[in-house]
Chain A
Amino acid sequence: MSAHIDGSAERRPTGGILALSMPYQVVAAVALASLAVLAGLHLAMVFLHVAPSNTITKQHGQAVDDWIYPEFEQNWKLFAPNPLQQNVSVQVRAEVTGADGARRTTGWIDLTAQDVEDIRGNVFPSHTQQNQLRRAIDWYGNAHDDEGRPKGMRGRLSEEYMRRIVLTRIEGPGARADVGGTVERIQLRRTVTPVASPHWSTEKRSTQPSSRLMPWWEITDADRSRTETSR
C-alpha cells in the first residue's frame, strides 16, 4: 500500500493522491487543504489558550474560548510559576440531632487528615482521596469573592458540592467519621499551613497555620437526597 515514487520511474502508484484520476484528485486535494487549515487553526487556538494573556487573546479571547471550552480545556502550569508551598486542610464541625432528639455540636473533624491517612503508603491513591476534597475547596475559594460571597451560579454550585462531600464523610453508618445522628448545620474551617523553608535555606518563613471560618450552613434534604440510597 505504501507507494514510494522514485523520481525516475513512471510507474503508477497504487495508493495516495497520485493513484487517483482527476475528479478524485480534486476531492483529495480539497480534503488535504481543509484538514491542513483545520489542524493549523486548532493548534493556534490551543496555543493561544495555554499562552499568557497577549494582544491576540485580549482582542479575540472569546473566539479562543468558544473553540477550546469545554472539550479542549487544558492547564499545564504544573507546579508553575511556583509550586504550592502550603498545605491546605479542611475541618468541619456539625450540629447534630441524636437519636434521643437532643442537639449537640461536635468538635472539629479534620477531613483532610482522613485523605492524607488514606494516601500514606498507597501506590495508587484514588481520586476520591487525592482530588475530591482538595479540588472542591480550591474551587470553592475561586468561586467566591474575598468576603465569601458566591460568584454567580458556580459559586452556589461549589457550596452545595462542599456540603454534599462533607455529609458523605460525617453522616450515616457508611461515613468515614460518623457523627451518629442527623446533621442539622455544619461549619467549615479552611486552614493553611505554609511549608517550612528548606534547612539549607537562610530564608525564614513562618509556619504558623492560619484559619478561616466559613459561615454555618443549614443542611437541607437537597444536600443529602439520594445519598442514603446509594450507601
Chain B
Amino acid sequence: MTVPSPAPAAAPARVPFDRKLARAAQTVTSRALGPYQTAIVRIGFSLTWLFFLVREFPHRHEMYGPDGPWSFELARRLIADNRAFTVLMWSDGRLWFEVVYGLAVVAAVLLLLGWHTRAVSVVFMVGALSLQNRSVFLGDGGDNVVHLVSIYLTLLRCGQVWSLDARRAAREAARGEEARGEEARGEEARRRVELAGPALWVVLGGFLVAATWFSPVTGEWWVYVLLWVLWLGQGLWWLVEQYAPGEPRVLLDVLANLAHNAALVVLMAEVCLIYATAGWYKIQGSRWQDGTALFYPLHLDYFTPWPALSELLASSGIMVMLLSYGTVIVQVAFPFTLFHRKVKNVLLVAMMLEHAGIALLLGLPAFSLAMIAADAVFLPTVFLVWLGARATRGRDRLLRRRPAAADLPPQRPARDGEPGGETGGEAAPRTLVG
C-alpha cells in the first residue's frame, strides 16, 4: 500500500497519542515514502512527454513556434492577461524556440534515466510548462496531467531507485568501502564524478537569473520563488555535505523528506480528484444513466482512428451499457477503495486496462499513457520490486551479461537498474562492457 501510513503495525496495544504523533513525525521526516511509486511516476511521465515531443517533432513549429497559427504576438497578448509561465516568451527567435524544444526533449530523456534527478526534474517542468503554456488551446487532458505532475515532480525525491543517481550512490557506497584499502584511487574517482553536479548548478543558476530578469513578461511570482528555493537548496545541500556533514545535513534530509511526502500526498489526492470528478459528474448525465454514453464517443470523427473497430464495439447494446456503467462505478469507487488494498489493486488494473483501450480506440495514446503513469502511484511495492527485478533481468539477458556485471559492485541491490526494459534495446552497444 502506498498511502503513507504513519505507524508501523508492530505497535503493542495502547500506544499513547503523543507517542503515536512522535512516531508519525519521525516517519515523515526520516523517509521519503514510496520510493518505487515515485520512481515509476517519474519514468511514466518522462516517457509520455518524450513520446509526445518526438511524435510532434515534425509539427513543432506549427504547434509552439513563433510563426505558428497561435503566433508569438497572440500568445503575448494572452499571457499578459493570464500570467502563465513560459520561457518561450523571452524571444520570438527561431533559434530560441529550437533550443527550448531541444532542451525539453533532453530533460525528458535525462529524467527517464534519473541523471541528477533533482536538477533535471526542474528543467523538465520548465520545458513542459513553457511549451504547453505557449499554446494553451492545443492541449487535452493528457497535457493537463503532465502539466500538473511536472510541477509536483520537482518536489519529489523520485530518483531513489531505478535511476542513474541510485546507481551512482550504490557505486559510491561500494567505493567508500574499497577506499579504506586503497584511498588515493577512490578519492580521485569521487572528485571526478562530482563535477557534473556543480557544473549543472552553475548553468541553471545563470538560467535562473535570466528567468528572473524576464519575470515581468511571464509567470506568476510563486514560480520564481519555487525555482530559487530549489536552486538555493541544492547549493546549500552541496555546501553542507562538504563542510557540515553532521546535524545540518540531517536537517536538510528532513526538509527534503517533508517536501517529498507532502508532494506525494498531493499527487495521490490529485489522482483521486481526477477520478472523483470524472465519475461524479458522469452520474448526473442522462446518457450515462441510460447506458448508451460510450456509444457516442465511438461515433465522433475526431476520436475514431479505427472506425470499424469502434463500430464493432458500439454495435452491442449490452456491451456499451456494461462498459458505460463499469466506467462510472470504477471512477466513483476508486478513491474509497484506497482503504482496502485488494479491491484497490483490482480497480487499478481495471482502470489501466480501460486507459489502454482508450489509447487505441479513441486515438489518445499520450493521454492514456499519462493517466496510466498517474495511476501507477498506487501500485503496490511488491509488484514494483518484482517488475524492477524482471526489467533488470531482461536487460541483462538482452545485453548478455551476468546479473552483477563486472563494472558494478557485487553488493549492488537487485532493484537498482536502469528504468524499465524499454531502454534495453537502445543500450545494446554496451555489450562491450559485459
Contact = CB atoms under 8 A, between A and B. Distances in A.
B22 A128 contact: no
A85 B263 CA distance: 38
Interface in A206-231: 222, 225-227, 229-230
A200 B317 contact: yes
B25 A32 contact: yes
B75 to A, nearest CB: 9
B293 interface: yes
A185 B59 CA distance: 26
Given A71-B129, A71-B147, A82-B293, A16 B137 contact: no
B202 interface: no
A78 B141 contact: yes
A229 B66 CA distance: 11
Interface string A182-211: 000000000000011111110000000000
B30 A16 contact: yes
Interface string A55-87: 000000000000001111111111111111101
B59 A81 contact: no
A130 B363 contact: yes
A161 B73 CA distance: 11
A3 B254 CA distance: 12
The winner among A73, A122, A132 for most chain B CB atoms within 10 A is: A132
A123 B78 CA distance: 33
Contacts of B71: 164, 225-226
The winner among A6, A82, A120, A131 for most chain B CB atoms within 10 A is: A82
B138 A132 contact: yes
Interface in B258-316: 258-259, 262-263, 265-266, 269-270, 273-275, 277-278, 281-288, 292-297, 299-302, 304-307, 314-315
A153 B81 CA distance: 9
A84 B31 CA distance: 46
B211 interface: no
Contact of B25 (A7, A17, A116, A135): A17
Interface in B217-260: 220, 223, 247-248, 250-251, 253-255, 257-259
Interface stretch (B8-16, B36-44, B104-112, B187-195): B8-16
Interface residues of A, number: 92
Given A2-B31, A5-B23, A76-B273, A131 B139 contact: yes
Nearest to A139: B137
Contacts of B257: 16
Contact of B70 (A2, A82, A154, A161): A161
Nearest to B223: A71
Given A31-B258, A83-B297, A226-B67, A127 B56 contact: yes
A46 interface: yes
B22 A168 contact: no
Interface string A123-138: 1111110111011100
B63 interface: yes
Interface in B52-79: 55-56, 59, 61-63, 65-71, 73-74, 77-78
Contacts of A165: 69
Interface string A1-20: 11111110000011111111
A87 B137 contact: no
B305 to A, nearest CB: 5
A168 B69 contact: yes
Interface string B124-151: 0000010001001111110010011001
Given A39-B266, A74-B148, A119-B363, A69 B141 contact: no
A104 B62 CA distance: 28
A182 B164 CA distance: 55
A136 B67 contact: no
Contacts of A80: 278, 281-282, 284-285, 288
A195 B299 contact: yes
Contacts of A201: 292, 317
Nearest to A74: B144
A224 to B, nearest CB: 10
B325 interface: no
A230 B254 CA distance: 51
Interface in B141-177: 141, 144, 147-148, 151
Contact of B274 (A76, A196, A199): A76
Interface stretch (B82-90, B345-353, B414-422, B424-432): B82-90
Given A19-B250, A42-B266, A161-B69, A125 B29 contact: no
Interface of A: 1-7, 13-21, 24, 27-29, 31-32, 35-36, 38-39, 42-43, 46-47, 50, 69-85, 87, 89, 112, 115-116, 119-128, 130-132, 134-136, 139, 153-154, 157, 160-161, 164-165, 167-168, 195-201, 222, 225-227, 229-230
25 contacts: A7-B15, A20-B251, A38-B262, A39-B262, A42-B266, A71-B147, A71-B220, A72-B148, A76-B281, A80-B285, A83-B287, A83-B293, A84-B297, A116-B302, A119-B304, A120-B305, A126-B55, A127-B63, A127-B140, A130-B140, A134-B302, A161-B74, A164-B69, A164-B74, A230-B68
Given A2-B30, A195-B299, A199-B315, 19 more contacts: A4-B8, A17-B30, A17-B254, A19-B30, A28-B251, A29-B25, A31-B258, A32-B25, A70-B136, A70-B220, A76-B274, A76-B278, A80-B278, A119-B304, A119-B363, A120-B304, A127-B138, A131-B138, A161-B70
